[in-house]
Amino acid sequence: MIFTLHAVFALLLLGAVSGHAAAKTCNVAPLGHGKDDTDQVEAAIARCGHFGTTVFAPGEYNITRKMTWDLVSSRVDLHGYLSFIPDIQYWLDAHNTYRVIFIQDQASWFVVTGRDFVIDAHSTGGINGNGQPWWSYFATRTREDGDGRPVAFTLKNVTRGVVRDFRIEAQPFWCNAVADSSEVVYDGMYCNATNQDPLYAGQNVVPNTDGIDTYRSDKITLLRWDITCGDDCLAIKGNSTNIVAKDITCRGGNGIAFGSLGQYIQFNDIVDHVLMEDLKFIRLDPQVQPNLGSGVYFKSWTGTVNGSPPTGGGGGGGYVSNVVVKNVFLDNVTLPIHVYQTNGGHTGDEPSKLQFSNLTFVNWTGTSQRSTIVELACSPAAPCPNMRFENINITPPSGTAPSYICVNVASEFGLPACNATGLA
């Protein structure tokens, strides 16, 4: 139902954009090795980004500083890669990135704003994040939210935008973020954070390489995503409403997250009306990426404030409701379905007031690394009503019986026996 609405709106949007796009065209080709393409890329967007078309020929565009594209009734054909120089100290200087997405003070080196646009990368272009030097550098250093590692591709304050067949190679940090935006369709997205430094074989040195984080956004549609990462394949954060994700492959990482939520005491985080379908979770060679944490998991901070965001926080309220996750295949994930409300917490904290309700899981198959298939650890201050399960056929390790754990669940339907026995 939600999906159909979004598909119709996407078609309308394409019609609206193609009506304007003939006005002017800018053509750009890479200047070649050793040259800086940033000026010519910015100049083309300045000239053709409003009511025009910008065509980037195949190849690598050397981008050496932060860049914003404001696109209005515009089309961009990005046949090549915007390659962001791996000068770690340069980007970590707070002056050299934007802080536009608010959540966790994260940094961005490339921001797209505007309305009624299409960016089509034709599966031959997108962004090269040159992440390997970043992953190796941070393998032996502390990583903190808001430390300045840049999001590869940020959509901010966008209304009616389409991103198509876009490839992001080696994101250093989050691959995508969308914030303060509405009616955005990402149709075809590839992200791949795969460590190739033999020094770190067998370790996850690509944490925080999330496929996308959605924040303060409405009507966001994610179609045909292929994400290799060491963290959240998708992360649905506060005030994400009417979200559709369909045909999503997650290779390694933590799984799909709702959260974390409730980090900011001054805000309610609302996540409402989410449909996810046709999801695959693939475990990688453990020498390449040891983690495949969950299928889908939901997490909130506790009700106590433990320090300030971005690194600490807690105490925020809100709710997550009307979520359907169906047609899911799991390849040996650690814990297929998980709810917990103690993120960043300590024993003795106040329980979270953020409530999870109306979550529905349909047609899940595949394998789990442990016998626990579902663990719902809801807050005693906000027990979870209406947890629904249909056709959950996940095979636990041979010789073990599947188990289902429900703590502070107000009502549950469809699991054989769900109770607090065995909660870790």
294: contact with ligand NAG by CB under 6 A: no
157: contact with ligand NAG by CB under 6 A: yes
Question: Which residue in 62, 104, 171, 379 binds ligand NAG (CB under 6 A)?
Answer: 62
Determine how β-strand 25-28 pairs with β-strand 81-84: unpaired
Residue 19 or 32 with smaller CB distance to ligand NAG: 32
How many C-beta neighbours within 10 Å does residue 307 have? 10
Q: What is the CA radius of gyration of the chain?
A: 21
How many C-beta neighbours within 10 Å does residue 201 have? 14
Question: Which residue in 40, 130, 203, 268 binds ligand NAG (CB under 6 A)?
Answer: 268
263: contact with ligand NAG by CB under 6 A: no
Q: DSSP 3-state assignment of 371? A: coil
217: contact with ligand NAG by CB under 6 A: no
What is the amino acid identity at position 18? S
Q: Which of 37, 213, 231, 269 is catalytic?
A: 231
Annotate 75-114 with DSSP letters as a single string.
EEEE-SEEEE---HHHHHSGGGSB--S-GGG-EESEEEEE
Residue 40 or 64 with smaller CB distance to ligand NAG: 64
261, 299 contact by CB (below 8 A): yes
Q: DSSP 3-state assignment of 156? A: strand
> Can you tell me the distance from the alpha carbon of 87 to that of 101, in angstroms, rounded to the nearest whole number?
22
CB-side neighbour CA atoms (13 Å) of 164: 14
Count residues binding ligand NAG (CB under 6 A). 41
CB of residue 327 to ligand NAG, shortest distance in Å: 4
238: contact with ligand NAG by CB under 6 A: yes
CB of residue 348 to ligand NAG, shortest distance in Å: 26
> Is 213 in the active site?
no
Going residue by residue from 165 to 204, which x/- string records binding to ligand NAG, judged by CB under 6 A? ---------------------------x-x-x--------
Question: Which residue in 130, 136, 358, 360 binds ligand NAG (CB under 6 A)?
Answer: 358
> Can you tell me the distance from the alpha carbon of 75 to that of 112, in angstroms, rounded to the nearest whole number?
13
Residues 91-110 that bind ligand NAG (CB under 6 A): none
DSSP element (H, E) containing 4 = helix 2-20
Residues at the site binding ligand NAG, with contacts judged by CB under 6 A:
33-34, 36, 62, 64, 85, 115, 157, 192, 194, 196, 216, 226, 228, 238-239, 251, 267-270, 283, 286, 319, 321-322, 327-329, 332, 357-358, 363, 365, 369, 386, 403-404, 417, 419, 421
